[in-house]
Amino acid sequence: MDPALTHFGEQMSHLTGVRAIMKDIIETLQAGHGHEFINLSAGNPVILPEVEQLWRDCTADLLASSEYGEVVCRYGSSQGYQPLIDAIVEDFNQRYGLSLTSRNVLITPGSQSLYFFAANAFGGYTEAGELKHIVLPHCPDYTGYGGVSLIPEALIAHRPAIDLIGEHRFKYRPDFNHLEIGPQTGMVLFSRPCNPTGNVMTDAEVQRIAALADPYDIPVFIDSAYGPPFPALNFTEMTPLFGRNIVHCLSLSKAGLPGERIGIAIGHERVIQVLEGFQTNSCIHSSRYGQAIAARAIASGALAEIALKVIRPHYQQKFAVLEASLDEAMPRHVPWFLHKGEGAIFAWLWLEDLPITDWQFYQELKQLGVIVVPGSPFFPGLQEPWSHRHQCLRISLTASEADLVTGMRRLAKVAEQTYQQASLIAG
Ligand SMILES: Cc1ncc(COP(=O)(O)O)c(C=O)c1O
């Protein structure tokens, strides 16, 4: 059976970005036949015992309540399960001094679907045939944005400015000299904290982007999959920002519920209505079981507390180990720069003027039994060539401390050999 595919069918049936590389990684691990790989590629969060216990307790509470049948045996509203919407409204109003109502909140089956709805509602061709861009103010950014638009030419990512910090650290910043947000823009999207870099765009930078978009009624989607109040995977001070044209987007995936698929959009009533319509047409609603246990964990304050006390320190400590290992192991003559660890569950390493591609480096490192993710798929929407794109690696902080230390020592060895061989050839 080989049915003819439409243009969209062709496009959507292919894996994009890092998912294509994940296929190679899975095959490598399966073909390993007992060969022990240090896997520093995982995007799946660690199962932390306290977090698992929280969801177990919330489930037990739901099972024991009369609400159970209502939750599991019924369809519900597309906007979301009302007790979860109420818990979000109350929590955010109290925590951030807002005046949200139910109409400002939408629950989606994971946040990836939320970006898919938004990208196709606000990006792409208008009735008048005008192309509205989905602007990523700086790349690298979440690889999943590469597959969200049915109109790939709508996705436009901008190159960042790079601040070097000390000898071996750096930070990306939006380059406001080149960032274009105007009548052609349909929406703006970025992750904060950022997957893959761990960058946290500053409050001032976010406010400036929102102000550029505001006169044109352009919604700015701030992907807070790693942000406060949960999972609170920010290691630097940051304020979640709200505003007329800001849509604050959360995910419960990094707070221990990736399988239950819960994304949350908080924003202007009109934007929420559009997204809700899209959701009704495509999948009706998110799992009500997941929403019911999330409502309990948020209303009791337990989720925000566990995020601060357990989830954040776990990954922050891993970053500290990785940073110290690189400082110790990397050879002096290699021009390496680690992105400032401001949040999320990854470290991002830039090997300036790398003599081979990121993909080749990944293959070399595999030979030493370590798997990282080559950086090039994390530039969705970047239309111009940029050598930097092939000089970076994403390293997951989900591994054990011992694996991080060994992994960085082997990575340093590959880096040393690679730059040395290139200088011998050049010499
Ligand atoms: C930055 C970012 N946004 C969105 C997602 C999608 O998460 P989910 O659909 O599970 O909410 C991820 C997942 O890794 C992510 O890293």
* 5 Cα to the center of ligand 1, angstroms: 28
More confidently predicted of 17 and 205: 205
Rounded CA separation 13/254 (Å): 26
Q: pLDDT value at position 114? A: 98
Residues 222-262: tens digit of each pLDDT: 999 999 999 999 999 999 999 999 999 999 999 999 999 99
The residues pairing with 39 across neighbouring beta strands, listed in sequence order, are 371
Residues 80-112: tens digit of each pLDDT: 999 999 999 999 999 999 999 999 999 999 999
Phi-psi map region of 240: left, alpha, beta (phi>0 left; psi -120 to 50 alpha): beta
Rounded CA separation 378/132 (Å): 22
Label residue 34 by pLDDT band (50, 70, 90): low
Protein residue closest via CA to atom 12 of ligand 1: 225
Which of 8-12, 53-57, 141-145 is predicted least confidently? 8-12
Number of Cβ within a 10 Å radius of residue 171: 19
Q: pLDDT value at position 425? A: 75
Find, among 136, 198, 185, the residue nearest to 342 by Cα: 198
- Whether cis (ω within 30° of 0) applies to the bond prior to 193 is yes
Q: Where are the domains of the chain?
A: 7-47+308-426, 50-305
Label residue 14 by pLDDT band (50, 70, 90): confident
Residues of the chain with pLDDT > 70: what percent? 99
Label residue 25 by pLDDT band (50, 70, 90): confident
Report whether pLDDT(400) > 60. yes
Closest atom of ligand 1 to 251 CA is 11
Q: pLDDT value at position 330? A: 98
Q: pLDDT value at position 370? A: 97
Number of Cβ within a 10 Å radius of residue 125: 14
Closest atom of ligand 1 to 141 CA is 1
Structure tokens at 121: 């509602």
Kindly state the average pLDDT of the residues 135-163: 97
Kindly state the average pLDDT of the residues 112-131: 98
Q: Which residues contact 57 (CB under 8 A, 6 or more apart)?
A: none
The CATH H-level superfamily of 7-47+308-426 is Aspartate Aminotransferase, domain 1 (3.90.1150.10)
Label residue 64 by pLDDT band (50, 70, 90): very high
**Helix (H) / strand (E) containing 402:** helix 401-426
Rounded CA separation 427/424 (Å): 5
Q: At residue 102, what are phi and psi to the nearest 5 degrees?
A: -55, -30
For the full predicted model, state whether its pTM sits above 0.95: yes
Alpha helices, DSSP H only, in 256-370?
Answer: 269-282, 288-299, 302-306, 312-329, 358-367
CATH number at 50-305: 3.40.640.10
Closest atom of ligand 1 to 263 CA is 11
Structure tokens at 385: 């060539």
Find, among 189, 136, 138, the residue nearest to 163 by Cα: 138
Q: Which residues contact 247 (CB under 8 A, 6 or more apart)?
A: 118, 219, 220, 221, 222, 265, 266, 267, 268, 271
Q: pLDDT value at position 18? A: 73
Kindly state the average pLDDT of the residues 343-360: 98
Q: pLDDT value at position 33? A: 57
* 251 Cα to the center of ligand 1, angstroms: 7
Find, among 230, 216, 190, 267, the residue nearest to 54 by Cα: 230
Lining residues, ligand 1, CB within 6 Å: 43, 110-112, 142, 144, 191, 195, 223, 225, 251, 253, 258, 263
Report whether pLDDT(393) > 90. yes
More confidently predicted of 24 and 255: 255
Rounded CA separation 277/281 (Å): 6
Q: pLDDT value at position 87? A: 98
Closest atom of ligand 1 to 111 CA is 11
Report whether pLDDT(180) > 80. yes
Number of H helices, E strands in the chain: 13, 16
* 225 Cα to the center of ligand 1, angstroms: 6
**Helix (H) / strand (E) containing 411:** helix 401-426
Terminal C-alpha separation, the chain: 57
CA contacts within 13 A on the Cβ side of 127: 0
Report whether pLDDT(27) > 90. no
Structure tokens at 291: 């929403």
* 425 Cα to the center of ligand 1, angstroms: 42
Rounded CA separation 232/306 (Å): 9
Label residue 386 by pLDDT band (50, 70, 90): very high
CA contacts within 13 A on the Cβ side of 3: 6
